[in-house]
Chains A and B, each alone.
Chain A
Amino acid sequence: MPGAGKRQRLTLRIAAIPMGLLALSCLYPIFFAVNNALKTRHDYMLDRFGLATQPTLDNFVQAWTRAHLDEYFLNSVIATLGAVILLMVVSSMAGFALASLRFPYRRFLFAVILSSLMIPVQVVLVPFMRTMLALNLVNTHIGLILSYTAFFLPFSVYMMTAFYSGLPRELIEAARIDGASLLQVWWHVMLPLGTPALVTLAILNTLSCWNDILISLLVMQKHRTLMVGISALKGQYSDQIPLFTAGIVIAAAPIVVLYILFQRRIVSGIAVGAVKG
């Protein structure tokens, strides 16, 4: 604040010291993981705090091949990509219908979708598993994709409905007069116009799907996702910390890259999400 008093400025300067330490603590875990992943097991035993003086990529190779992270990584990519695309399509369609079309029980259906926000996966865990078994979806990528979509859908629908409500209705009417079917209006008009909201949704849903453990632990018992694989790695290689931290780095890398590229979008998207989440 400009023009703040002298004492206030001094207080703020003093406050900056613990705040700076807190900021360092936020960055340290990633440094810790990368630094130790670059050490050999022997080097780690000798000096667990020092910098990796003779960095080796051997742990990454080992984690990727011997610990099957390559396979888990692929499973996570398939599930995340599939769910994010499905979430964008389904929530854009639903948002278009709820914001722009008039049909009976519109408000009621919107309320039904939003109220399911109050049903977290833990609350329906038993019947959810039975549904998955009955539909033969356990241990399938499709099953995981559908589960992610179902559990991350309400907020996405809410956001697309809010976004589309802000668009002028004349856009749709003009396209309708030109003879476009509703499907054409959605595909050629609404989907492209929704891009800004859809990109934000894609980023936020990528974070949620990639980071998930509970749903993937339930659905993918045979074909592990990366997070399930990493949590199992801990038991398997508990005496091989450098290998374990290499696995952590592999699992965190896509999210860290996403954060660096889209920090602004993530922050503003989550702020919107928090206020109506």
Chain B
Amino acid sequence: MLFLLPAILLVLVFRIFPLFWGFGISLTSATSTDPGQFIGAGNYLRALDDPNFRSAMANAVVVLLSVPIFVTIPMLLAILIHQGVPGRTFFRSVYFFPAILSSVIIGSIFSVVLSFNGNLNALLGIAGISGVDWLGHSATALPVTLAIQCWSTFGMGVLIFLAGLSTVSKEMVEAARLDGAKMWQIWWHVIIPELRPIIEFSTVITTIGLLTSMFGLIYVLTGGGPGTATTVPEYLIWAAQGKLNRPAYAAAVSMVLFFMTSILAWLQIRILSRNANI
């Protein structure tokens, strides 16, 4: 029992107790120096009227809509690797490489490459195409950030799908092939249905990951801007707590984010336990 004490204590002090405390703070008008007063749902109501919150939610929707891309690309690559594309061992290890680098490092490199007088635009200039301020333009900033996130994490997805593919029955694939099925028919009718549990699982963890792990990239690449073009809920929480000195408001946004991730975590647990029963 004593052996468990350090772990329990750490989890209670830094995570579980703060969760309840944070809910308490979200119901007050606290600032960093003043405990404030109880104002009930005030911060939540204010959020509905706040353009920053609205665009953070709108951006979250864009992020969530991009989830299928984050799942499909690794799946297709993993199937190709599994089917024996030439150079597969090389691809396997190299694809994973960006996933181990810090988002700060990835972001720093891309900020050099993508800045207005950066390398990509210089290259386009040589080809006679006028450059775009990729990260400084509100129409391109979020899609570009998402593309970088996708590029830097797809190796992880490939890994998960390869693990799933190792359970796909070789006999079924072989039987389908002998029956004269074409490659895409085998993919569509045999492999992808067999991968369903992995697809569900990958969708849920990708979604949770996108809601809680883009901070580093956004912090380095765009600082949430231009305007609020790349402000997502997790970034808004950080900005409201520090820069804007509105901790109670930040706590309220935190609860909204927690609500979103909890639903996903609940789905994840359901999927995991159902898959375990098969």
Known pairs A19-B77, A116-B11, A271-B163; A122 contacts B215 (CB<8 A): yes
Is B80 an interface residue when CB atoms closer than 8 A count as contact?
yes
Of the residues A15, A101, A259, contact of B97 by C-beta under 8 Å: A259
Q: Give the nearest-CB partner of A210 in chain B.
A: B102
- CA of A182 to CA of B3 in the docked complex: distance in angstroms? 9
Q: Are A16 and B86 in contact (CB under 8 A)?
A: yes
Asked if A27 and B94 sit within 8 Å, CB to CB, the answer is yes
Point out the residues of chain B lying under 8 angstroms from A12, CB to CB. Answer: 80, 83-86
Q: Interface size class for chain B?
A: 35 or more
CA distance A128 to B98 in the complex (A): 30
- Consensus secondary structure, chain A interface: helix
Write out the residue numbers on chain B whose beta carbons fall within 8 Å of the beta carbon of A25: 151
B102 touches A113 (CB 8 A): no
Q: In the complex, which of the residues A2, A8, A94, A154 contacts B183, with contact meaning CB atoms closer than 8 Å?
A: A8
Q: How far is the CB of B185 from chain A (nearest CB, A)?
A: 11
For B123, give its contact among A16, A49, A146, A230 (CB under 8 Å). A49
CB-contact partner of A93 in B7, B21, B113, B156, under 8 A: B7
> What's the Cα separation between A134 and B97 when bound, in Å?
40
Taking CB atoms, residues of chain B closer than 8 Å to A274 are 156, 159-160, 163, 205
Indicate which residue in B7, B83, B102, B159 contacts A251 across the interface (CB closer than 8 Å): B102
Decide if B95 touches A23 in the complex (CB within 8 Å).
yes
Residues of A within 8 A of B (CB): 1-2, 4-5, 7-8, 11-13, 15-16, 19-20, 22-23, 25-27, 29-30, 32-33, 36, 48-49, 89-91, 93-94, 96-98, 101, 103, 109, 112-113, 116-120, 122-131, 146-147, 149-151, 153-154, 157, 182, 186, 207, 210-214, 217, 227, 230-231, 234, 241, 244-245, 248, 251-252, 255, 258-259, 263, 266-267, 270-271, 274-277
28 of the cross-chain contacts (CB-CB < 8 Å) are A1-B173, A7-B182, A12-B84, A19-B85, A29-B109, A29-B110, A93-B4, A122-B234, A123-B254, A123-B255, A123-B258, A125-B237, A125-B241, A126-B248, A130-B25, A131-B14, A151-B14, A182-B3, A210-B102, A211-B101, A211-B104, A213-B216, A214-B215, A227-B104, A251-B104, A255-B102, A267-B93, A277-B205
- Which residues in B have some Cβ–Cβ distance to A below 8 Å? 1, 3-4, 6-8, 10-11, 13-19, 21-22, 25, 77, 80, 83-87, 90-91, 93-98, 100-113, 119, 122-123, 151, 155-156, 159-160, 163, 173, 177, 182-183, 201, 205, 212, 215-216, 219-220, 233-234, 237-238, 241, 247-248, 250-251, 254-255, 257-258, 261-262, 265, 272
